[in-house]
Amino acid sequence: MDKLGPLWSFLVFVFIFTQKARVNGSTNTAGNDNVMGVIGAIVDNSSRIGKEESVAMKMALEDFCVKFNQSLVLHIRDSQRQPIQAALEGN
């Protein structure tokens, strides 16, 4: 069952990303297009792999925002070793 933990986290992340990601277009005063988005993820922060997943997602999001001049926010929720229950309670 421990081997399925990262898989569940990834599947929940993909589910939330496809269902809950919202992108709102806006224009700043300089005239550059700036997109604001919200991405959610559920990880098990009590495990080492969950902490590594959180750090990896934060680093990837930071690199993406810099490279593509985007403004995205990452919301990470702790599954407390119950990823399906955490996904069902997500809003």
- pLDDT (tens, 9 = 90+) of the chain, 91 residues, equals 556 666 667 766 666 665 544 444 443 444 455 657 888 888 999 999 999 999 999 999 999 989 988 888 999 999 888 888 888 876 5
Task: State the pLDDT at residue 4.
Answer: 64
CA distance 23 to 86: 23
CA distance 19 to 91: 10
- Cα 37 to Cα 34, 59, 61, 75, 82: the distances in Å are 10, 16, 11, 11, 26
Task: State the pLDDT at residue 61.
Answer: 92
Which residues lie below 8 Å from residue 50, measured CB to CB, with a gap of 6+?
Answer: 5, 9, 43, 44, 78, 79
Task: State the pLDDT at residue 21.
Answer: 46
